[in-house]
């Protein structure tokens, strides 16, 4: 069944140190979103566990995709009849090259529907910027992110730092994405909130796609989740505190944007690597 409009929800919260506590939080947001008629719930990056005082904690708490945390996510999605999107850290195949106390993980965006993982994506661009070094513990992916069909809408996915690489979003748009979902833990810092605002809007406008952007809240991350329409306008937004926001994706708005601003059709130089 095709949904027009498609109601989506974004849940932003501070990821706790205990995986079980995070599943309880997600359960509550999934229940509320489903009761409000949402068909998709976008969640933040690094859902299993986080400790703002220990950058290596998330890697140490990694679990395989068939482990208890993702199994819990699958049950939540099935119980509430909602598609879940967000990232988890899983042990990587590559050997540890960092040191005896560290282990390699992959930062994996998962899409869960009807209790099953229907798509996964290993984060391409690692956050080695602003004095951070995600690559100390995380292995990068080597494939472009996928697009999934959700109730007749084609939704592409990206993870946090991917937002700073416009070719990633463009690859989704030229492959037919109607919307792009971004799962993030956007770190605070001078002008960083402004960067988030500018780039989420830019990725929507330059590709005439909806952008759904979710970031964790907390001492080190900004929250400020938002939904941007295909002409770059904010249609729903949260502040810095935990929140659930909803929005409707509309076919008529998508069609008007692409008819009045046909940037995808007007491209003169196409990179085959993005197709």
Catalytic residue chosen out of the listed positions 123, 134, 209, 214: 123
Residue 160 designated active-site: yes
What is the rounded CA–CA span in Å between residue 214 and residue 42?
Answer: 7
Q: Is the pLDDT of residue 98 over 50?
A: no
pLDDT tens digits, residue range 171-195? 999 999 999 999 999 999 999 999 9
Catalytic residue chosen out of the listed positions 134, 160, 209, 214: 160
Catalytic residue chosen out of the listed positions 45, 134, 139, 214: 45
Q: Is the pLDDT of residue 123 over 50?
A: yes
Higher-confidence residue: 64 or 1?
A: 64
In the predicted model, what is the mean pLDDT of the chain?
94
Q: Is the pLDDT of residue 272 over 80?
A: no
Residue 269 has a pLDDT of 83
Average pLDDT (1-8) is 90
Residue 209 designated active-site: no
Residue 270 has a pLDDT of 78
pLDDT band, residue 111 (cuts 50/70/90): very high
Domain boundaries, the chain: 6-268
Q: What is the DSSP string of 25-70?
A: HHHHHHHHHHHTT-SEEE--S--S---TT-TTHHHHT---TTSHHH
Pick the CATH number of 6-268 from 3.40.50.300, 3.30.70.2170, 1.10.357.10, 3.60.110.10: 3.60.110.10
Residue 214 designated active-site: no
């Amino acid at each position: 069944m095709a949904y027009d409009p498609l109601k989506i929800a974004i849940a932003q919260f501070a990821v706790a140190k205990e995986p079980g506590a995070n599943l309880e939080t997600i359960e509550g947001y999934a229940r509320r979103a489903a009761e409000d008629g949402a068909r998709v719930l976008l969640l933040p990056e690094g859902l299993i566990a986080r400790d703002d005082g220990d950058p290596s904690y998330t890697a140490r708490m990694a679990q395989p995709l068939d482990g208890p945390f993702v199994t819990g996510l699958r049950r939540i999605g099935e119980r509430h009849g909602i598609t879940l999107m967000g990232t988890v850290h899983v042990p990587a195949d590559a050997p540890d090259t960092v040191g005896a106390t560290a282990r390699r993980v992959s930062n994996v965006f998962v899409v869960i529907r009807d209790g099953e993982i229907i798509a996964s994506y290993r984060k391409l661009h690692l956050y080695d910027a602003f004095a951070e070094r995600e690559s100390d513990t995380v292995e990068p992916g080597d494939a472009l992110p996928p697009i999934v069909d959700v109730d007749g809408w084609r939704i592409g996915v990206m993870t946090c730092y991917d937002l700073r690489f416009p070719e990633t979003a463009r690859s989704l748009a030229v492959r037919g994405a109607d919307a792009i979902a971004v799962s993030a833990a956007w770190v605070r810092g001078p002008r960083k909130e402004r960067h988030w605002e500018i780039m989420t809007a830019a990725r929507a406008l330059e590709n005439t796609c909806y952008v759904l952007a979710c970031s964790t809240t907390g001492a080190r991350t900004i929250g400020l989740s938002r939904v941007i329409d295909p002409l770059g306008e904010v249609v729903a937004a949260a502040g810095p505190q935990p929140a659930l926001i909803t929005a409707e994706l509309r076919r008529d708005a998508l069609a008007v944007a692409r008819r009045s601003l046909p940037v995808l059709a007007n491209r003169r130089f196409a990179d085959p690597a993005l197709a």
